[in-house]
Homo-oligomer: A and B are copies of this chain.
Amino acid sequence: MVIVMSSHATEADVTVITQHVESLGLQAHPIIGVERIVIGVIGDERLIQKDQLSLLPHVETVIPILKPYKLASREFKPNDSVIDVAGVRVGGKEIVTIAGPCSVETEEQLLATATAVKQAGAKLLRGGAYKPRTSPYAFQGLGEDGLKLLMKAKEQTGLGIVTEVMETADVELVAEYADLLQVGARNMQNTRLLRSLGKVKKPILLKRNFSATLNEFLMSAEYILSAGNNNVILCERGIRTFVEYTRNTLDLNVIPAVKQLSHLPIIVDPSHGTGRHDFVLPLSRAAIAAGADGLIIEVHPDPAKAFSDGEQSLTLEAFQSLMNEVSVISKAMGRQ
């Protein structure tokens, strides 16, 4: 932590600050510059609040040096984490594709999709039983009936299940059915939910909120990790910008950023990230080329009749074709 004093601060003002810093159990090293005095602070800055220093008299700003997350950082764990999801390893050499409908609608729809995505090479099945919709008048999901249909699809195809959990009260129930519990973008900072997921014995798929900085994204992972669950997979699904040709702006820059700062795997959701079925293929390729560990893609037997997000869903045929095209890029990246 570095404390920058305001330009008119005297050495007496600096003494007040250094004494305060030392009273907090940290060490203070003032450096007298030409235009400013700065004070280097030694000790674990995570233990104190930035505010409590920045509001002291004659302090201009306080600049943190250490990252606010610890367990999620690559410094804490230098090697890549590989997360086991129902026998599928995410974060290793293999590119893992999760596919399925936005919402579980009917048995027929789900089984047809599950069978087709499995055949095309998907390793896990996604499907929403609890749906956080913008409109109260829109389809809100089948709830537990949806979870039961997912279980049936699992029995039939062998694909592990990825599904969203929307609140703490549902965690236990969803964890009975799901192999990977998804935290949706709107819940990325639902800290109560995050902590309850820290106590679950299933891995978690944490989607980035539309306006989350990388610090905030990794701090949400830190909530889960610090509560006892080490199995977190990150997912980029688009940020909110001024751009008008996509529903969100899929931010592939986050992939090398995560790889540098964290050991956690990261996958990409080009369906929600762009909101457009015709952009899913180019952005899937780009995600893999940027270093993502996998994809999560919306697929529906008849997108024009989907209960939700049809605009961004691939048909079964389009998904098969995407898997072929993407595998060429995966190989070019030295992955499978």
Which residues from chain A sit less than 8 Å from chain B, CB to CB? 2, 4, 7, 29, 31-36, 38, 40, 42-44, 46, 49-52, 54-56, 63, 65-66, 68, 75, 132-138, 140, 166-169, 186-187, 189-195, 209-211, 213-216, 219, 222-223, 226-227, 239-246, 249-257, 260, 274, 277-279, 282-283, 285-291, 303-311, 328-329, 331-333
Known contacts A167-B192, A245-B257; A42 and B51 CB within 8 A of each other = no
Min CB distance A109 to B, Å, is: 14
Q: Shortest CB–CB separation between residue A105 and chain B, in angstroms?
A: 12
Q: How far apart are A145's CB and chain B's nearest CB, in angstroms?
A: 17
Given A55-B304, A55-B311, verify A253-B239 contact (CB < 8 Å).
no
Choose one: B31, B167, B219, B222; the contact of A40 (CB below 8 Å). B31
Closest 7 CB pairs of A and B: A51-B310, A289-B289, A211-B211, A31-B40, A286-B290, A332-B332, A55-B304
Note all chain B residues with C-beta closer than 8 A to A245: 214, 253-254, 257
Task: Provide the residues of chain B in CB contact with A63, threshold 8 Å.
Answer: 2, 63
With A195-B136, A213-B244, A241-B239 already in contact, the answer to whether A282 and B291 are too (CB < 8 A) is yes
Residues of B within 8 A of A332 (CB): 328-329, 331-332
Determine how close the nearest CB of chain B comes to the CB of A141; give it in whole angstroms: 10
For the complex formed, measure the closest distance between the CB of A155 and the CB atoms of chain B, giving whole angstroms: 29
Contacting residues, chain B, for A210 (C-beta < 8 A):
211
Task: List the B side residues contacting A35 at CB < 8 Å.
Answer: 44, 66, 75
